[in-house]
Structure 1
Amino acid sequence: MSKELVFGHQNPDTDAIVAAKAFSYLENKLGADTEPVALGEPNEETKYVLNHFDEPALRVITKAAPEVDKVMLVDHNEPQQSVSDIADVTVTHVVDHHRIAGFETTQPLFYRAEPLGCVSTVVYKLFKENKVEIPAKLAGLMLSAIISDTLLLKSPTTTPTDVAVVKDLAKIADVDYETYGLAMLKAGTNIDSKSEKELIDADAKSFEMNGSTVRVAQINTVDLDDVFKRQAALEAAAKDENKTEGYDLFLILATNILNSDSELLVVGAPTEPVEKAFGKKLANNRLSLPGVVSRKKQVVPPLTDAFNA
């Protein structure tokens, strides 16, 4: 049996890193030969999580085909979010919680996707279904991933299943998830030490919307003013990436994790679908989006509808 690589999306967040580790562990327990890897370095929040549980970071790859013939995907399925040579390898497994777009294979595969707040919640269910015990350290990592993706269970993507799984994982890991979760989220909001390019690249995904390539980055903070005092520099960085990477539109969603409000910075064109999606007019290239915290559920769907209208 040849080894397979397991990885999440580019610009990995905590869930992409943890889900790769967790699903690889499960598959190996079930008899597979896999290695979890990452498509980028961990962000500050993920570094906090790994340090807290004394867990090593994953090896970073830029291509898979030189190493393996087959791969397993977690926390994504869209090709533009995956490894650069995804077309040159066979995808045997996908475990996800996002929309399915632009994904096809020539061979049958294992595909598990559920509309839950975090893919680590889906992986948890797979552990239970296969009667594989979750070690305490891995439980702590998976707990962290769910806290991250659901903003400590405050995001509208949160489901009752996510809540129940968080409580169970917290017991296994022996963690006070509310205290730990807030400290973890705050660890990821220190933006002063980062360049504008680092800020817009840390948590960004690309989406094809009716012929336009839309890049959506999210920056978590505890003070939106800390982000927008750098608006001109952020716009310049986004314009540069639009030019070099071929994006039509770059959206920067700055989210206050304490009050669950966001502000959207729009760079590029067309802007009309953005205004239509949220029913507001741009002012100074910005839109105020109170109560919006989820790119997956509150930003991408209305944008997609507006572009397709």
Structure 2
Amino acid sequence: MKELVFGHKNPDTDAICAAKAYSYLQNQRGFETDAVALGEPNEETKFVLDYFKEPAPRVIEKASDEVEAVMLVDHNEPQQSVDDIKDLTVTHVVDHHRIANFDTAAPLYYHAEPLGCCSTIVYKEYKASGVEVPEKIAGLMLSAIISDTLLFKSPTTTDEDKQAVEELAQIAGVDYEKYGLEMLKAGTNLASKTEEELITADAKSFEMGGKTVRVDQVNTVDLDEVFARESALRAAIEKQNQEEGYDLFLLMVTNILDSDTRLLVVGEPQDVVEKAFGKKLVDNKVDLPGVVSRKKQIVPQMQKAFEN
């Protein structure tokens, strides 16, 4: 029985590369799978796919019209998954995020570890299975790890992530430091993007305290360049909040060179944001030095603030 493998909506490099890598691994193990995506690749991911001459996965909006079962990578929360996830059997999950609002009717294989990247876990499964990693797949996985850890600058980075990149770079035949910087910079070319594209490219929804909180991250090498468009960004966020029912929208604009984030906050309750980070918002904004990780430095703090 054929299954689809995919990462979360608004896919980042890990969501797409982990799906491709895990699909290949599962096919070697005797499953019949296809890697697909729940959105188009972003600029960074396009750079990766072009570099390693890999085709972009086809994009789906629902899966139940072609399969009964699916495998999830890089996510588990249903609001981040395919629209008809409730109509599907989830047989496998490989993830590195919190587990929330997730339940199944049948037993399943679930591999989660608190590592910097889902692709690090997928690589561990290759090693445990004794399946040889093809050169291109190695390139995809090391790209995903570099992306998720911001070339090891993120506090989510573990020694296992670093070791995985060093080993995968040998297989892929790349200088991971030089390649990694080129790849990250490719993802910061924002001038050609509309405000709507910027606020949806890497956005995830979270349920907190009965509110829907949307968190989007934009990587840049120049905060001022992004905030020159602040009024248009606010208008786009307000429109999306109204249309999609988001209560609170946090736009993380992260300088990948300085490892700092400026947060733009639209919606309510804003006092929870101030409580989460111990800082007052000024004109709906707050600077967060050293903050680069949504998963580790934004979401848990917001969750705690809502609970308290």
TM-score norm. by structure 2 comes to 1.00
The Cα of 1:295 is off from its aligned counterpart by: 0.2
Which amino acid counterpart does residue 240 of structure 1 have in structure 2?
K
**What's 1:258 paired with?**
257
**What's 2:39 paired with?**
40
3-state secondary structure, aligned to 2:298: helix
The Cα of 1:169 is off from its aligned counterpart by: 0.3
**What's 2:218 paired with?**
219
1:187-266 superposed matches below 5 A: 187-266=186-265
Structure 2: distance between partners of 1:5 and 1:117: 24
TM-score norm. by structure 1 comes to 0.99
1:13-71 per-residue CA deviation (whole Å, 9 max, x = no partner) reads 00000000000000000000000000000000000000000000000000010010000
Structure 1: distance between partners of 2:119 and 2:285: 33
1:20-169 superposed matches below 5 A: 20-169=19-168
Which amino acid counterpart does residue 70 of structure 2 have in structure 1?
V
The Cα of 1:121 is off from its aligned counterpart by: 0.1
Percent identity reads 69
1:87-118 per-residue CA deviation (whole Å, 9 max, x = no partner) reads 00000000000000000001000000000000
Aligned length: 308
3-state secondary structure, aligned to 2:162: helix
Structure 1: distance between partners of 2:61 and 2:306: 31
The Cα of 1:212 is off from its aligned counterpart by: 0.3
**What's 1:284 paired with?**
283
The Cα of 1:233 is off from its aligned counterpart by: 0.6
Structure 2: distance between partners of 1:43 and 1:49: 10
Q: Find out whether 1:174 has 2:173 as its counterpart.
A: yes
Structure 2: distance between partners of 1:174 and 1:40: 29
Structure 1: distance between partners of 2:202 and 2:189: 14
**What's 1:293 paired with?**
292
The Cα of 1:141 is off from its aligned counterpart by: 0.7
3-state secondary structure, aligned to 2:44: helix
The Cα of 1:163 is off from its aligned counterpart by: 0.5
Structure 1: distance between partners of 2:22 and 2:31: 11
Structure 2: distance between partners of 1:56 and 1:65: 24
Which amino acid counterpart does residue 171 of structure 1 have in structure 2?
Q
Structure 1: distance between partners of 2:273 and 2:48: 34
The Cα of 1:210 is off from its aligned counterpart by: 1.0
Superposition CA RMSD, Å: 0.4
Where in structure 1 do 4 or more consecutive aligned residues deviate above 3 Å? none
Structure 2: distance between partners of 1:55 and 1:13: 16
1:150-187 per-residue CA deviation (whole Å, 9 max, x = no partner) reads 00011000000000000000001110000000000000
For structure 2, list consecutive stretches of 5 or more residues without a partner in the other structure.
Answer: none
